[in-house]
Amino acid sequence: MVAAHELKAGMTFLNGDKLLRVVEASHHKPGKGNTIMRMKLRDVRTGSVFDDTYRPDDKYDQAVIDTVGVQYLYQMDGTAFFMNNETFDQYEIPVEVVKDELLYVLENTDVKIQFFGEEVIGIQLPTTVVLTVTDTQPSIKGATVTGSGKPATMETGLVVNVPDFVEIGTKLEINTQTGDYLKRAQ
């Protein structure tokens, strides 16, 4: 059991039959009344994000999340296939469950699958990934980093706002938490 005031970003807990992950958490002390916890939560099973408030002393079961190192193999017919790096067991996950994460993952990339008991609840990505630009507007001669930028489609289908000087074929480092362009990859 964990009290609401102990919940931090990234923690997962059960509220009834819902499996929730904390995106943001903050204490709020209104002028009158008791302190409340304001939280932005993600329903792990549905992917929906919502705001909620809790009393600091409310208690919840903390979810035990196990991770297994796997390699992403491919996707076919709405299913993503992964292989355990140690036992070579294969996991089949509906693409719908992990579609957002797959925008950052190339075939044969190592990731971690997250389990709640026997249920697959997601993929744990590295903080940054390197992807190649496959489509963008032509670069502007003399463009600097400070421009407003332009959209670029990466090899996985992810669309990222990039500086004006980026061209097709450029390898870029992308933050997987925010989906933002960080820099050109070496």
pLDDT tens, position by position, 72-88? 999 999 889 999 989 99
Classify domain 128-184 at the CATH class level.
Answer: mainly beta
Which is nearest to 9 in space by CA: 21, 17, 19? 21
Q: What is the pLDDT of residues 144-181, one digit of tens each?
A: 555 678 888 999 889 998 888 888 888 999 988 888 88
Half-sphere exposure of 131 (CA within 13 A, CB side): 28
| Per-residue pLDDT at 71 | 92
Nearest residue to 27 via CA among 37, 17, 40: 37
Q: Which amino acid is at 138?
A: P
Q: How far, in Å, CA of 128 to CA of 125, rounded?
A: 8
Average pLDDT, the chain: 84
* pLDDT of the residue at 144: 56
User: What superfamily would CATH give domain 66-124?
Assistant: Nucleic acid-binding proteins (2.40.50.140)
Tell the CATH topology of 2-62: SH3 type barrels. (2.30.30)
Residue with tokens 């070496």: 186
Q: What are phi and psi of 65, to 5 degrees?
A: -105, 120
Domain boundaries, the chain: 2-62, 66-124, 128-184
What CA–CA distances, in Å, run from 11 to 35, 36, 61, 62, 64? Answer: 21, 18, 11, 8, 10
pLDDT at 147: 60
pLDDT of 10 reads 77
The 3-class SS string of the chain reads CEEHHHCCCCCEEEECCEEEEEEEEEEECCCCCCCEEEEEEEECCCCCEEEEEECCCCEEEECCCEEEEEEEEEEECCEEEEEECCCCCEEEEEHHHHHHHHCCCCCCCEEEEEEECCEEEEEECCCEEEEEEEEECCCCCCCCCCCCCEEEEECCCCEEEECCCCCCCCEEEEECCCCCEEEECC
Give the chain's residues under pLDDT 70. 139-147
Is the whole-model pTM more than 0.75? no
Per-residue confidence (pLDDT) for residue 99, from 0 to 100: 82
Beta bridge partners of 133: 154
Report pLDDT for 82.
92
Fold: same for 2-62 and 66-124: no
